[in-house]
Amino acid sequence: MSTPVPARANAPERYYNYAYLDEQTKRMIRRSILKALAIPGYQVPFGSREMPVPYGWGTGGIQLTAAIIGPDDVYKCIDQGADDTTNAVSIRRFFANVADVATTEDTGEATIIQTRHRIPEKPLKQGQVLVYQVPQPEPLRGLEARETETRAMHAYEEYGLQYVSLYENISAYGRIAATAGYPVMVEERYLMSPSPIPKFDNPKMAQNEAVMLFGAGREKRIYAVPPFTRVRSLDFEDYPFETQTWEETCALCGAEDSYLDEVILDDAGDKMFVCSDSHHCAERRAAGHVGPMAGHTLDQDAALKEPAQ
């Protein structure tokens, strides 16, 4: 005998099924997720649905989240590492609205983190799920336009072609200059695009405790990296894989080991570097870390008196 489900507080204005998608769609997506987890790095086709945002705004990630989210989850959404950008705020509000979940900016307390272009600085823990929004799931697409051919290449592990792009990089720039969407091998079997995260974040994918799910809405593909999986960034013997480094520290929190964004301050060429992970930066500042420009308030009058040359 089942107990009656108590009516939700917002029952009258609920137009949508729980978490927006209907149950059959969520079931279909969950099956694709299970297959993706069973074959790490393999791109599983799925019946991507129209979502209330345009392609390119995270439709794949939103569908993944919708399929796995429950009322007990705590949801965090970041865009380029920041919790407070328009896209992140909209998607967070969307799930607060349609899935009745608590939302947070705290990486540590979130159970589902949807991300575009970054992996949070704080190491993820077992039990957390990181959902990536992926524009182009096929790492070989730029070099081979035929889907039939790229599928065969994955099936037969013919990945020499990917090295052509690295070769081009070195011959043009003297080093592997690719910075985002840097291709990785998953469990030494499938070549995978890590979505356009900076290569700075690539090493974080290896042996990660969290479940990592990737969704491409327009391209209708789901792939995954289960916890504790080997993930290796491609490189040459004489040009090993390297991540970005900065000579500067975060201007606000003084962090030396986080991924920094360059912010142009005026027309005179002044700039600052700040953590791209806004929660990481805020947490450090709250803990008393101070960067070179912290506490500095903009003196608007002075700026007006002395316009930039």
Report the catalytic residues. 41, 250, 253, 275, 281
Which residues in 166-185 contact another protein (CB under 8 A)?
167-168, 170-172
280-299 burial, b if ≥16 CB within 10 A, otherwise e? bbbbbbeeebebeeeeeeee
The DSSP letter of residue 20 is B
Q: Of 48 and 150, which has the nearer Cβ to another protein?
A: 150
Give the count of beta carbons closer than 10 Å to the beta carbon of residue 149.
Answer: 13
Residue 4 in contact with another protein, rule: CB under 8 A? no
Instruction: Tell which one of 50, 238, 267, 299 touches another protein (CB under 8 A).
Output: 238
Position among 102, 152, 264, 294 found at the interface with another protein (CB under 8 A):
152
Contact residue for another protein among 14, 70, 127, 236 (CB under 8 A): 236
Least Å distance, CB 231 to another protein, is: 18
Distances (CA, A) of 287 to 230, 272, 281: 34, 21, 10
Work out whether 241 is an interface residue with another protein (CB under 8 A): no
| DSSP letters spanning 77-119 | EEETTBSSSHHHHHHHHHHHHHH--EE-S-TTT-SEEEEES--
218 DSSP 8-state letter? T
**HSE on the CB side for 44, CA within 13 Å?**
25
Residue 184 makes CB contacts below 8 A (sequence gap 6+) with: 191, 192, 194, 202, 205, 231, 232, 233, 234
- Among residues 143, 206, 282, 293, the one that binds another protein under rule CB under 8 A: 143
Q: Quick check: 164 binds another protein (CB under 8 A)?
A: yes
176 vs 274 by CB, closer to another protein:
176
- Residue of 18, 239, 241, 246 interacting with another protein (CB under 8 A): 239
CB of 140 to another protein, least distance (A): 12
Q: CB nearer to another protein: give 13 or 238.
A: 238
Q: Residues interacting with another protein, by CB under 8 A?
A: 142-143, 152, 155-156, 158, 160-161, 163-165, 167-168, 170-172, 236-239
